[in-house]
Amino acid sequence: MDFETTKAQRAAASTKIVIAGGFGVGKSTLVGAVSEIDPLRTEALVTNESEGVDDLAAVPTKATTTVAMDFGRLTLAEDLVLYLFGTPGQRRFWFMWDDLCRGAIGAIVLVDVARLDESFSPLDYFESKGIPFIVAVNEFDGVPRYPAEEIAAALALPADVPIISLDARDREQAKGALVKITEYALMRLRESLTVNAN
């Protein structure tokens, strides 16, 4: 059997990545920007019923919201396919996170520097579950820019957690974030295997 036959017969590995963060931070946008298929979206209109439940002050133009998940797919290599699951941002839908995160190798926590306080709960969730994560600062138009070190300090991130900046609308930057979390998750896996072998 030659190399080409072996390569053709090798099954593609699939990997699950979760995109999380607060309400209106750009999760659906990131999944849509990078997915090679039309993303599955479970969105509902933001109505007056949200008043007093969702804080819309920071995102006054937001007309829809994810109520279950976003789903997309990206083929990184011939034998590596990423399945993307975007979580709902509002607290009342967080009961679905355990199911969405089951089997994920890692997560991207999207952050809006204007609303850093909304990042703590998602960060705490992934830390408590032992799921590797990176932090991606979504650089919205007109928001102030801060050095990564300042953001990491404000979020009290562990020193080994990568922090990057991106525009969630940009396909290449979104792909870069997916590559980064995949590499980080693999590094964490190798570290844990080394520790367990000793």
Q: For residue range 79-125, list pLDDT tens digits in order.
A: 889 999 998 866 666 777 888 899 999 999 999 998 899 899 999 99
Backbone angles phi, psi at 106, to 5 degrees: -175, 175
CA distance 90 to 65: 9
Q: Which domain holds residue 113?
A: 13-193
pTM for the structure as a whole: 0.80
* Domain membership flag for residue 1: no
CATH number of 51's domain: 3.40.50.300
pLDDT value at 1 more than 50? no
* Domain membership flag for residue 3: no
15: tokens are 């990997």
CA distance 154 to 128: 19
- DSSP, residue by residue, 31-82: HHHH-SSPPEEEEEE--GGGTTTS--TT-TT--EEEEEEEEEEEEEETTEEE
Split into its structural domains, the chain has a count of 1
